[in-house]
Amino acid sequence: MLRIRILAAALVAIGSQAAWASEASAMLKCANIADNTLRLACFDKVVGAQLPTLAEPIETEAQAKSVDVEKTVKAKLENSDAPIVFAPSAKDLAQLEEVGLDGSITDSYSPLSMAWDLDRNNEAGTFSVREHHALSLMPLWYNSKRNDTPQSPTREAAQASTDGDKNVEARMQISFKSKLAEDLFSSRADLWFGYTQVSHWQVYNQGNSAPFRNTDYEPELILTQPVKMDLPWGGKLRMVGTGLVHQSNGRTEPLSRSWNRAYVMAGMEWGKLTVVPRAWLRLDSDSKDDNPDIDDYMGYGDLYASYQLNNKQSLAGLFRLNPATGKGAVQLDYTFPIKDKLKGYVRYFDGYGMNLLDYNHYNRSIGFGIKLTDWHSL
């Protein structure tokens, strides 16, 4: 009987050593992955597969003080600054394959997936505050041509604010979204509420108490559906969606501007390039409303694109065009890291519709500011 017990103990020890050796080998392969977040994702998979599941865990003092590796990795992935992974290199892909993973693991950490929960639901759940567009402050925003007397076909020219407006002003943007419902229609479809507020502030017009020249308010409902479809040149269609959006500046006549739209959108990725086109239809068109010709200047859709450079720098652009009138706008952003989630950015705007009050006013603007959000947000 004693020999049997000794043999059983030896077999258990050998099995444990083999398991730990296998895990250690997989860990070493993960450690050789160059991309930081992809390496963490690899560890997450390996450790999650190796940790035993206890039916009734007993907490001891030592366990209470020990580090939960799996939770630590997950917390790092969810709380780190912009945990975004793009297409893995050939070397990283080879390391992933050696631990039984493939390049599809990167899908869960792409910009679109992280922003819209395309591959897994965020642990924050529903009714939590999430990033939408950028939370930003631009203390220096230069306008080449001020719109001192805005007008529209149905609203006479009126002075927008006060005398003494400056070409240089400040621009502030507040934006967030919250998931209202998830996994709708027996699928991964999610319903979101988003809100964005953009203010142009004549902060340098101290002679007239630094008035706000214009503020636009934009609530919207968004329904997203994750999809996975291959596109030409190695791209992937990651999502489709539809939305209802109201935008207004909250002013009284003759400076009131507003419109309502329904839109459809798609999200696509080619490695470090993210592209989101939208097409919309105006819902409240009326020949007597505040801005009956807004489509002539804002068009019937827009195209957002962003490209990740090295060291968390990025380039992004927003493009609009009405082919019939030839009017539209180009907006270009260069974003760079400062510290943690604080980022600096430079923006250039050329065209119509910098804000609702200026929807039919052509302007060129450039400015510098900071963002408290991920690199891929406008």
What is the number of other CB atoms lying within 10 angstroms of the CB of residue 230? 8
| Distance in angstroms (rounded) separating the CA atoms of residues 86 and 36 | 11
For 4-22, give one letter per residue: b (16+ CB within 10 A) or e: eeeeeeeeeeeeeeeeeee
Which residue among 80, 161, 178, 246 is the active-site one? Answer: 246
Task: Round to whole Å and give the CA distance between 42 and 37.
Answer: 9
List all residues 6 or more positions away from 118 whose beta carbon is below 8 Å from its beta carbon: 107, 110, 112, 188, 224, 226, 238, 239, 267
Catalytic residue among 108, 161, 248, 256: 248
Please report the sign of the dihedral spanned by the C-alpha atoms of residue 40, residue 125, residue 121, residue 338: negative
Distance, CA of 378 to CA of 152 (rounded, Å): 28
CA–CA distances in Å: residue 64 to residues 43, 68, 265: 22, 9, 48
- Known catalytic residue: 246? yes
**Active-site residue 248, yes or no?**
yes
Element (H, E) at 78: helix 69-79
C-beta atoms surrounding 333 within 10 Å: 21
Euclidean distance between CA atoms 192 and 221, whole angstroms: 6
Calpha distance 376→112 (Å, rounded): 9
Residues catalogued as catalytic: 246, 248
